[in-house]
Amino acid sequence: MIQSDRDIHRKLPEWKLAVLLFQERSIVNLFKEVKAAVTARQVAERYGLKVNRAGMACCPFHDDRNPSMKLDDRFYCFGCGATGDAVDLTARLLDLSPKEAAVQLASDFGIILSKEGEKAKVVADKMSTTKKVKIDLEDDWVNRAIRIMTDYLWKLREWKENYAPQSMDDDNWHPLFCEALDKTSYVEYVLDELLAAGKPEYEELRRVFGKEVERIEKRLERYAGRDASRD
């Protein structure tokens, strides 16, 4: 049985819950600060891709003899369809998770992050003494939504690669490949909206995307349950 974040949170001591919530917000802040500071073109040039004056480079993700990848704030390959932002490009180039890629970029580009660890310790000490937990529900929802949509986006990219038709003549496309084609752009859009939003916009984001986030969370749980049954 898969436990939701809410179920896990209920079982944690209050001081550990406080630390966890601050760590989750720290990850969100990390993504926001890195994406605001670094472009996909900067990433490409930093990690060895030769970008011409037109912002084009040979795509490292397929056998590319002539530059087919366009790089600016984001990247897009006209040859293989690879696309994403600075974090996505770093993750693929260096074979890292999204979080590891964001940390790598922060280090390599000298991005100074807030000291969330120290804040968490202070809050945890207070929580263990007062036994009170004050949770901003909208903040908590946005962080959870970002985690869910990020997990789904990476799953879609995995499906697109693993279940791609073997030839152009293959009309029997796998449903997971079709889902990846249908949903990837929308999920990227929702993620961009969530990551760029400020607190005044959180309530509206929850109203607009709340049901879709819940649907996707259940979709991921069903797929994870199917994988577990095969082990």
Asked whether the beta carbons of 106 and 30 are under 8 A apart, the reply is: yes
- Is 59 domain-assigned? no
Asked whether the beta carbons of 10 and 133 are under 8 A apart, the reply is: no
Number of domains in the chain: 1
- Is 17 domain-assigned? no
> Which whole-number Å values give the CA distances from 75 to 58, 172, 204, 215, in the listed order?
12, 30, 29, 29
- Is 26 domain-assigned? no
The predicted structure's pLDDT at residue 161: 85
Residue 120: Cβ within 10 Å count: 19
The predicted structure's pLDDT at residue 212: 92
What burial letters (b/e) apply to 83-112, b meaning 16+ CB within 10 Å? bbbbbbbbbbbeebebeebbbbbbeeeebe
The predicted structure's pLDDT at residue 138: 61
Cα–Cα distance measured from residue 99 to residue 108, given in angstroms and rounded to the nearest whole number:
14
Q: Take residue 56 and report the two structure tokens written for it.
A: 């084009």
pLDDT one-digit tens code per residue, 57-68: 999 999 998 899
Containing structural domain, residue 218: 136-231
Asked whether the beta carbons of 105 and 90 are under 8 A apart, the reply is: yes
- Is 180 domain-assigned? yes
DSSP character at residue 76: E
The predicted structure's pLDDT at residue 3: 39
Q: Take residue 222 and report the two structure tokens written for it.
A: 């069903």
- Is 67 domain-assigned? no
- Is 213 domain-assigned? yes
Cα–Cα distance measured from residue 219 to residue 225, given in angstroms and rounded to the nearest whole number:
10
Which residues of the chain fall short of a pLDDT of 50?
Answer: 1-25, 114-135, 228-231
Cα–Cα distance measured from residue 140 to residue 136, given in angstroms and rounded to the nearest whole number:
6
- Is 76 domain-assigned? no
Q: Take residue 175 and report the two structure tokens written for it.
A: 């449903």
pLDDT one-digit tens code per residue, 28-47: 667 777 888 889 999 999 99
The predicted structure's pLDDT at residue 51: 93
The predicted structure's pLDDT at residue 93: 94
The predicted structure's pLDDT at residue 129: 42
Torsion of CA 44, 46, 47, 48, to 10 degrees: 80
- Is 164 domain-assigned? yes
